[in-house]
Amino acid sequence: TPTLLVVIILPILSILGAYLFTYYYSNYMQILLLILLSISPILCSRSKNLEQHYPFVIFVIALSLLLHVNLVSSHLWSFDIFLESYCARTVIENEYWDPNLDYKLNSLLLINILAPVLSSFCDISYVWVFKAIFPLIFSLVPVSLFILYKNLIYKLFRIKDIQLAFLSTFVFVFYYGFFKDMPDKQHISQLFLSLIFILFLLKMTNSKYLILMLSFSLIVSHYGVAYLFALSLFGALILTNVCRYFGFN
């Protein structure tokens, strides 16, 4: 469909816009991209033929929004990304990871193992692992949220409102915190967290093994998110026991 065709070209416009802004200081393409990104969810939600493509549409829009800022410049920019890149560069230069280093980010396997492995496997600089591959991974978070919202709406209201779940996802995507800095430890850990919530909700067969694996991945990705997740589990356990005490199911 024409609407889906517009969505498909969004990543191309995003890459082209970042290139023009970096080397020719022109942001016209990026302004056009932002306009198209803002109207794409509305156009796609009005088309019944695109419902089966909603996960792909969400992924493409999220990736385009991330790339239009991450690909600007050929250098790293952000906040904690410089501390994390130091750890990744140290592992690459030494060709091994020393777990005994007294450095608070040295315990995050996402930075010290995954980033160097991707850099070596793809034969690219660790800089482009943070600028290109991590945004690609982080773009899967809105897709997982769509699956979570779709099943949560059905669980709570016993209705299948795919459009509501689709549009609700963009509350997260279009929030400034989604694209204001380069995806790093906190962003990638959100993918593991959202997948854990999906497994909790769907109650899949043998999901406890997947939850255990994802929980370990969450812990070694970002300590802050892991602490919040542990506190939320503790709060949910207390709330469940209180509801059972008063006879609520």
Contacts of 63 (CB under 8 A, 6+ apart): 11, 14, 135, 136, 139
Decide: 189 and 110 in contact? Cβ < 8 Å. Answer: yes
pLDDT higher than threshold 80 for residue 82: yes
Decide: 1 and 47 in contact? Cβ < 8 Å. Answer: yes
**DSSP line for 11-45:** HHHHHHHHHHHHHH---HHHHHHHHHHHHHHHHHH
State pLDDT tens for residues 103-122.
878 888 999 999 999 999 99
Q: Determine the 3-state secondary structure of 95 from DSSP.
A: coil
State pLDDT tens for residues 225-246.
888 888 988 988 898 888 888 8
State pLDDT tens for residues 169-220.
999 999 998 998 888 888 999 999 999 999 988 877 778 889 899 999 999 9
> How many Å separate Cα 227 from the centre of its chain?
19
Of 129, 125, 145, the residue nearest 137 (C-alpha): 129
Among positive and negative, which fits the CA dihedral 206, 151, 56, 13?
A: negative
Decide: 42 and 48 in contact? Cβ < 8 Å. Answer: no
- C-alpha angle 152-158-160 in degrees, rounded to nearest 5: 70
| 161 CB neighbour count, 10 Å cutoff | 14
